[in-house]
Structure 1
Amino acid sequence: MKQLSSGAGLPSGARARRRSAGNSILLTSGLAIALAAVLIPFYWLIIASTHSSDEIFGSPPPLLPGDHLSENLSSLQETASFGQVVLNSLLIAVIYTVCAGVVCTLAGYAFAKYRFKGSSWMFGLLMLGLVIPSQVTLVPLFKMMAEWDWLNTYQAVIMPNLALPFGIFLMRQSMAALPDELLDSGRMDGCGEFRLFLRVVLPPMKPSLAALAIFLFLFQWNDFIWPLIVLRDNASYTIPVALSSLQGVIDTDYGAILTGTAIAAIPMALVFLALQRHFVSGLLAGAVKE
């Protein structure tokens, strides 16, 4: 006689509930493992920022907060003027986010809703910027900044990446889903093009604008190579450049570096938490057309 499998004698509804419960357990376990993999490095970063370099590399590694946070902050301020560095990064990132957001939004609207000669190949040429490595443009951009006498200035950090290809692509895809009839009705009511853009186009684009703001802020906040090239004065450094300057050939204060890294993560977390409600919907806007 064949042995019945575990659940063979159960009604179909009970088997479905058991299968659903098993899937839920597997899904929850997988999410818990993924969450732990993401949070453990951040936890260790915070813990390590309160210890000295010797304690960080001790065996076993520290798992509880230490008492060297004030020493690490003092070392960070003395060696890198970190308070000024944080203000530099905030100023550059905020100005860049606003200016690049305006440029990407206007360009995305033009590509999505206006038909002009060469618009298709211009957009395709712009999209090549997504596949061309940024390192290719470093030398021409540096020569351009030097000719304009912009080296060691904030505009040299901000200006070259205002028309970011991904930002324009994101806004173009989002605005393409906006019905043309809505724009036509606004024009019939006497709206000018700029007023139409402000009053009709932008309000439905809030999720996409939030996603764009997060992306632009993080892009500029974490940028390292270009600020390292154009900024010459320690007082004008951004956080990534300042932290890299703390790594010495013989001796490196890892406690101070990890403290600075933990501080640098705070604004990114705050920006994401403030705009996370719109982030996913903004990235998916325009992905499906009815």
Structure 2
Amino acid sequence: MAAPHTLPDPAPPGAVDPGTRPGTPPRRRTGRLPAPGRVLGHTVLAVAAAALLLPFFWMVSSSLKTDNAVFSVPVSWFPDSPRWANYVEIWRVSDLLGWLGNTVFLSVVVTALQLLTGSFAAYGFAKTRFPGRNLLFVLYIGTIAVPWQAYMIPQFILMSEVGLTNTPWAIVALQAFGAFGVFLMRQYYATIPDELCEAARVDGLSEYGIYFRIMLPLSVPALAGLALLTFVTTWNDYLGPLIYLRDPDLWTIQLGLKSFVSQYNAEHALIMTGSVLSVLPVAVVFLLGQRYFVEGIATSGVKG
């Protein structure tokens, strides 16, 4: 009579796999791609990076040329004789220092107010309970889908009625309260456990105290990401200052560069020189806050 079939006994802890040679550490599965895949991925990223940096390289190269050589055919990627005098002449023939000062003022003020209003409103939507909270949040975030051109004229009429046109405070009032900042911060606050807020309330801490002493210190990455996005957007804004800032003393760098284009001529070399100088502050800000920016954007989408 055949013996009943029995399952093999489980291997004791620490037993070595028969297919593994003695003294060989067990293989660990990693998420890394094989060597050909990594090479292909790095090649694609290198090509994409070169394509993105190519216009910037051409801008820097053109800033060292004469006006006639900027759009020469065929394209000359390197100037025959670099004209460094362009970086001296632009300060002499224009109010570049004033344009940069106005742009820095608007960018810093708008960014600071955006961080304050966006994070505070996001705390209300994420960590407090009140009737109609979710509906109000959806309606508020829905304004992102409305293009600015749709309400640009009524907004200008409103600013004219309150006397803010031709002042920098019109730009501040328009951009200091944005739905995107509230959405970004609210998504990040959702990743913070509600138990922290409940414990703080039990200890007698007010909502303002929870916001300033708990939520803000924990949301530095998200604040850095929002600050960078707001600063770059305000710095590069052209249409808003074009509509509201008519006095040349109030022009930003974007409006100032337009002054090099006349009805019959355009000083292309100086335009490229001013463009390089206008990009440098943004590049420095991005390099300084790159780590916080990536972390804040990545963690803001973890939990809805």
TM, length-normalised to structure 2: 0.85
Task: Check conservation: 1:126, 1:165, Cα contact below 8 A.
Answer: yes
Task: Check conservation: 2:187, 2:300, Cα contact below 8 A.
Answer: yes
Tell me which residue corresponds to 1:222.
Answer: 236
Q: In the alignment, is residue 68 of structure 1 matched against residue 46 of structure 2?
A: no
> Residues 224-279 of structure 1: CA distance to partner in whole angstroms, max 9, x if unpaired?
11110000111110111111232222100011111111111111111111111111
Unaligned 5+ runs, structure 1: 1-12, 14-18
- 1:157 positional shift: 0.9
- 1:76 positional shift: 5.8
The counterpart of 1:119, out of the listed 133, 158, 166, is: 133
Query: How far apart, in 2, do the equivalents of 1:26 and 1:39 lie?
Result: 20
Q: In the alignment, is residue 170 of structure 1 matched against residue 181 of structure 2?
A: no
Tell me which residue corresponds to 2:219.
Answer: 205
Specify whether residues 92 and 286 from structure 1 end up closer, same or farther in structure 2 by C-alpha distance, changes over 3 A only: closer
Query: How far apart, in 1, do the equivalents of 2:221 and 2:186 lie?
Result: 14
> Residues 115-157 of structure 1: CA distance to partner in whole angstroms, max 9, x if unpaired?
2122222111111211100111211111111111111111111
- Higher normalized helix content (fraction of residues): 1
Residue identity in the other structure for 1:188: V
Task: Check conservation: 2:190, 2:303, Cα contact below 8 A.
Answer: no
Query: How far apart, in 1, do the equivalents of 2:198 and 2:90 lie?
Result: 61
> Residues 164-219 of structure 1: CA distance to partner in whole angstroms, max 9, x if unpaired?
11111000111111111011111222322212111111111011000000011011
Q: Secondary structure at the match of 1:151?
A: coil
Task: Check conservation: 2:86, 2:273, Cα contact below 8 A.
Answer: no
RMSD (CA atoms): 2.0
Q: Secondary structure at the match of 1:261?
A: helix
Equivalent pairs, count? 273
- 1:61 positional shift: 3.0
Tell me which residue corresponds to 2:271.
Answer: 257
Task: Check conservation: 2:102, 2:251, Cα contact below 8 A.
Answer: yes
Unaligned 5+ runs, structure 2: 1-26, 28-32
Tell me which residue corresponds to 1:16.
Answer: none
- 1:84 positional shift: 0.5
Specify whether residues 77 and 105 from structure 1 end up closer, same or farther in structure 2 by C-alpha distance, changes over 3 A only: farther
Residue identity in the other structure for 2:120: L
Q: In the alignment, is residue 103 of structure 1 matched against residue 117 of structure 2?
A: yes
Residue identity in the other structure for 2:165: L
In the TM superposition, structure 1's runs of 4+ consecutive aligned residues that sit over 4 Å from their partners are: none
The counterpart of 2:148, out of the listed 134, 137, 152, is: 134
Tell me which residue corresponds to 1:48.
Answer: 62
Tell me which residue corresponds to 2:105.
Answer: 91
66-75 or 185-194: bigger deviation:
66-75
- 1:32 positional shift: 1.2
- 1:73 positional shift: 4.3
Identity of aligned residues (%): 33
TM, length-normalised to structure 1: 0.89
Tell me which residue corresponds to 2:30.
Answer: none
Residue identity in the other structure for 2:161: E
- 1:54 positional shift: 0.6
The counterpart of 1:38, out of the listed 52, 62, 69, is: 52
Q: In the alignment, is residue 235 of structure 1 matched against residue 249 of structure 2?
A: yes
Query: How far apart, in 2, do the equivalents of 1:77 and 1:174 lie?
Result: 47
Q: Secondary structure at the match of 2:229?
A: helix
Tell me which residue corresponds to 2:72.
Answer: 58
Query: How far apart, in 1, do the equivalents of 2:259 and 2:129 lie?
Result: 49
Q: Secondary structure at the match of 2:219?
A: helix
Tell me which residue corresponds to 2:199.
Answer: 185
Q: Secondary structure at the match of 1:90?
A: helix
